[in-house]
């Protein structure tokens, strides 16, 4: 384990288009010592992403899981579904920089990834960066409070 590593309970969910990366990220995260709770789907058969993403987002909002990851073809719909849940701040990430900034500036408690848009290696790197990056606080706190007021 890395110095300062804090294992987390992480919700994960996908639609059919994000299923392959979901399974790979589960292995990656559990191998790193995290407890991963899978909210589905369980195959590449076509499904409606809001069902699975909402369940993962609700687990994060209730505090049952500390963070959440949702995946789809582009990640757009999955992020939208998660963000409908109060207290969830789900960022669509497509680079290590967007993953890092989503934590530093937005205190994102969930991220969304598009399997059709990023490599698996990049997906792993984004997830690791997001998990390891602390919230910067400061001027960003009032903005987060404004988001959570909705």
Correct CATH for 9-148 of 3.10.580.10, 3.40.1400.10, 3.30.450.20, 3.90.79.10: 3.40.1400.10
pLDDT of residue 61: 97
Instruction: Report the mean per-residue pLDDT for the chain.
Output: 94
Q: Domain residues of the chain, as ranges? A: 9-148
pLDDT at 120 over 60: yes
Total-model pTM: 0.94
Q: Which residues contact 117 (CB under 8 A, 6 or more apart)?
A: 73, 74, 75, 94
For the annotated catalytic residues, the residue numbers are 78, 105
pLDDT of residue 139: 79
State the Rg of the chain over Cα: 14
pLDDT at 71 over 60: yes
CA separation (Å) from 23 to 50, 73, 132?
A: 18, 14, 21
């Amino acid at each position: 384990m890395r110095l300062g590593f804090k294992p987390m309970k992480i919700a994960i969910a996908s639609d059919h288009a994000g299923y392959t990366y979901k399974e790979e990220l589960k292995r990656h995260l559990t191998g790193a010592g995290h407890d991963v709770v899978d909210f589905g789907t369980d195959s590449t058969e076509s499904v409606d992403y809001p069902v699975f993403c909402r369940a993962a987002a609700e687990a994060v909002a209730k505090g049952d899981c500390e963070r959440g990851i949702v995946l789809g073809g582009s990640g757009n719909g999955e992020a939208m579904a998660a963000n409908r849940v109060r207290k969830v701040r789900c960022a669509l990430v497509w680079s290590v920089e967007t993953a890092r900034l989503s934590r530093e500036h937005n205190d994102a408690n969930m991220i969304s990834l598009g399997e059709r848009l990023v490599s698996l290696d990049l997906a792993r790197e984004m997830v690791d960066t997001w998990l390891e990056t602390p919230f910067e606080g400061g001027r960003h706190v009032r903005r987060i409070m404004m988001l959570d007021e909705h």
